[in-house]
Amino acid sequence: MQEATKPVSERQELDRLRAAMTASGDVAYEWDLLSDRITWVFGADEALGLAADADVPTGTAYAKLVAPEDIANRMRAIALVSAGGGNYECEYRLDLPRFGERQVHDRARAEAGPDGKPVRLVGMLRFLDTGHRRDGRRDNLANYDALTGHFNRARLREALEHALNFTKRYGVDGAYLVIGIDKLTMVNQALGHKAADTVLVAVGDRLDQTLRASDVIGRVGGDKFGAILANVPAGELECATEKLLDSIRHKPIETPEGPVYATVSIGAVTFPSAANTAQDIMMRADVALQKAKQSGRDCAITYTFSAEQLAQHKSNLAIAEQVQRALREQRLRFAYQPIVDSATREVRFHECLLRIVQPDGEVIPAARFMPVVEDLGMIRSVDRTVLERSVEELALYPDARMAINVSGLTTTDRSWIRSAVAMLRSHK
């Protein structure tokens, strides 16, 4: 007779987990961001070569182990989480007293408080082998600027999308700054590219030192940086930009060819009030930067609407609210336009033209709301509803032949394509 399996106690489960963690070399931790206390769960003593709870009890103590060249990258990853950018993930090197330099992949889940801001990171340190290091270098090239170590333009735009969503979700204000170094071309021509590169790196370092830890910086052009201030009231923006201007102009930058006095010009955009997509925010910041340069440089200009633009913006927001309400209340309808064969005069199929039916019965044509839908980044929601409604209509009228209109952006959205295939597969 087979012996019954004995239940595994909680203690045995913990012992097994500890053994597995020790064998893998991974280290688990919990970091309380409010108190800065780190609780090391498994593996830290062996992997770090330290009595973790005694030698590394806080985030501040752990940060001292990070290689100096990698501190900025790690701080930017932490700042991205603080700005509402999702979970934390970063690769960097540790300088460990017993083991020397070790490459680590640090990944954690962010836990938010009532206000939506992260209060705790629960994560895992994984020490990397050579293959992982090659992957890490490729990842580094894809996300960071090789000269300054800051985010590149694509990565900064992604961070801006996260910050924009955060401000919308929690009803706070943010700002995006594009910071152009004045007359860097002249430095390059007069003193050479090494001096110009030194100025560029030094300006980036001063921006790091002046901005808050929660702000995110990236290099967006040859002589331009971008900075995301994810939670800054509009009334404090002028003070923030003036501090940045002063941090650059207050003392010269030492280069191989001697000291260089540098200044910057700043174009600023507040969001979500002045723009609703990352692309629009960055474009409008560039417009403001050009105005700052035309105004004599070494100054900051905030993008503002004209009276006509402000009226149009308010009108667009009202239309966007109408569309969102219509989506929630399922008031989007089709108007069927027959497409006729010019030779036979026979109807070949019908084009489905979108309409909103208001509660009072008014029918609003697509021309009045679709441009706003596309401009404000709502097109995916509308196109998904168009797909669902067309499949519903075909289920009612199997012999119908219909054409629907979707945006070019939606046709490249794999999730939309998968939804279309799934719906059509279940409705032959």
Report the SS3 class of residue 38: strand
The per-residue b/e assignment along 357-378, b for 16 or more CB within 10 angstroms, e otherwise, is eeeeeeebebeebbebbeebbb
Residue stretches of the chain with pLDDT short of 50:
1-3, 130-138
Q: Which residues contact 243 (CB under 8 A, 6 or more apart)?
A: 210
Summary count for the chain: helices (H), strands (E)? 16, 16
- Terminal C-alpha separation, the chain: 55
Report the SS3 class of residue 358: coil
Taking the CB of residue 291, how many other CB atoms lie within 10 A of it?
Answer: 16
Q: Which residues contact 301 (CB under 8 A, 6 or more apart)?
A: 266, 267, 268, 288, 289, 291, 292, 295
pTM above 0.85, yes or no: no
Instruction: Tell me which residue has tokens 């940045």.
Output: 244
Taking the CB of residue 29, how many other CB atoms lie within 10 A of it?
Answer: 22
* C-alpha span between 338 and 345 (Å, rounded): 11
Containing H/E element for 221? Answer: strand 216-221
294: which 2 tokens?
A: 């035309």
Cis, bond preceding 365 (omega within 30 deg of 0): no
HEC string of 106-168 equals EEEEEEECCCCCEEEEEEEEEECCHHHHHHHHHHHHHHECCCCCCECHHHHHHHHHHHHHHHH
What Rg value do the Cα atoms of the chain yield, rounded?
Answer: 28
pLDDT of amino acid 8: 53
| 317 burial level (CB within 10 Å; 0-12, 13-18, 19+) | middle
Domains of the chain: 10-143 (3.30.450.20), 153-304 (3.30.70.270), 311-426 (3.20.20.450)
- Supply the DSSP symbol for 37: B
pLDDT of amino acid 292: 94
pLDDT of amino acid 60: 86
* C-alpha span between 26 and 233 (Å, rounded): 41
Taking the CB of residue 30, how many other CB atoms lie within 10 A of it?
Answer: 15
Taking the CB of residue 72, how many other CB atoms lie within 10 A of it?
Answer: 19
* C-alpha span between 163 and 313 (Å, rounded): 21
Query: 257 has which bridge partners?
Result: none
- Please spell the DSSP secondary structure of 43-90, one letter per residue: SHHHHHSS-HHHHS-BHHHHHTTB-GGGHHHHHHHHHHHHTT--SEEE
Q: Please say whether the dihedral angle defined by the alpha carbons of residues 121, 124, 125 and 128, taken in this order, is positive or negative.
A: negative
pLDDT of amino acid 224: 94
| Strands annotated E in 272-346 | 300-302, 332-340
